[in-house]
């Protein structure tokens, strides 16, 4: 089940739970969108049955069906997290007596490491100079992505009159659960941002606060930023599919390779838990393993 059913409804209480997550837990917009998608799956799988009537064996059957239709273990795990959270809210606020999702685990799937650009690929993406107004804007966005390891939503949410502090050399963003953090901005990114600042007024509508705007003068959406990055990568013949999160992965991987300071990378990325950052130690190990294979005289048999 790789696509959400058209015009599917949420289970009873689903809309209220999502509103509660937004107001009380300050859940990110992308998280709410994903959970809505997962609740729609639950409504379809339940086939009209009341949520209170579902038992653990029903949830296991739903998991089996999703897995059989090609959904990954990670995606099924997110579904279970959303369903479990809804039931917990229903128990607390609607008098439901049991949570049939408790104890249900998703099928295991191979751990996929985030893909990162090599330093040379990152240079190939960012070094070519901008040749148009839109490319000046794009280069400023992508330099800042790679320079500071921002999330896509964080970059899209930047305003022209707050966040960037040239005197301190920092950018301050609001990340998941409303947490703010300040991250250094590199020299090349500042140069690209200054170039965009001198031209932004040619596109921005009067009173538009967004730092990065479309050709019609309004704030760039995450989808528009993603599309522009794909266009640049293809135009430069990079040979890999480049998406915004790959620039964040590349920032983290390259920082860890150079510094070896996992805690510092955790702070720069805004991860609440060090476990989220530890994935990049595997990327770093892969890099070291490649260097070893290429350089050590006894690495390969003759």
The one catalytic residue among 41, 78, 232, 248: 248
Task: Let me know if 166 is a catalytic residue.
Answer: no
What is the rounded distance in angstroms from the CA atom of residue 158 to the CA atom of residue 171?
9
The one catalytic residue among 137, 181, 219, 271: 271
The one catalytic residue among 60, 67, 243, 245: 245
Task: Let me know if 108 is a catalytic residue.
Answer: no
Task: Let me know if 176 is a catalytic residue.
Answer: yes
The one catalytic residue among 151, 228, 249, 254: 151
Task: Let me know if 84 is a catalytic residue.
Answer: no
The one catalytic residue among 36, 74, 176, 287: 176
Task: Let me know if 280 is a catalytic residue.
Answer: yes
Report whether 278 contacts 265 (CB < 8 A): no
Task: Let me know if 248 is a catalytic residue.
Answer: yes
Residues labelled as active-site residues: 151, 176, 245, 248, 271, 280
């Amino acid at each position: 089940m790789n696509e959400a059913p058209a015009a599917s409804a949420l289970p009873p209480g689903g809309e209220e739970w999502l509103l509660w997550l937004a107001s009380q837990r300050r859940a990110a917009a992308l998280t709410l969108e994903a959970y809505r998608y997962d609740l729609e799956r639950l409504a379809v799988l339940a086939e009209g049955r009341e949520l209170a009537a579902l038992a653990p064996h029903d949830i296991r059957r739903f998991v089996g069906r999703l897995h059989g239709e090609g959904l990954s273990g990670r995606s099924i795990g997110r579904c279970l997290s959303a369903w479990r959270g809804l039931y917990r809210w229903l128990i607390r606020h609607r008098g439901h007596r049991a949570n049939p999702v408790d104890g249900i685990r998703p099928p295991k799937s191979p751990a996929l490491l985030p893909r990162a650009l090599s330093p040379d690929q990152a240079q190939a993406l960012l070094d070519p100079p901008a040749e148009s107004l839109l490319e000046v804007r794009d280069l400023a966005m992508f330099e800042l992505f790679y320079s500071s390891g921002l999330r896509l939503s964080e970059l899209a949410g930047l305003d022209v009159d707050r966040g960037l502090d040239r005197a301190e050399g920092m950018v301050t963003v609001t990340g998941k659960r409303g947490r703010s953090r300040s991250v250094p901005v590199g020299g090349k990114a500042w140069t690209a941002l200054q170039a965009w600042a001198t031209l932004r007024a040619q596109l921005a509508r009067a009173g538009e606060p967004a730092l990065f705007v479309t050709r019609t003068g309004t704030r760039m959406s995450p989808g528009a930023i993603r599309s522009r990055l794909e266009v640049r990568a293809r135009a430069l013949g990079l040979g890999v599919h480049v998406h915004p999160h790959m620039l964040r992965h590349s920032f983290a991987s390259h920082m860890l390779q150079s510094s070896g300071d996992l805690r510092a990378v955790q702070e720069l990325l805004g991860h609440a838990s060090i476990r989220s950052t530890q994935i990049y130690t595997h990327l770093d190990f892969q890099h070291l393993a490649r260097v070893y294979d290429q350089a050590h005289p006894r690495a390969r048999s003759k």
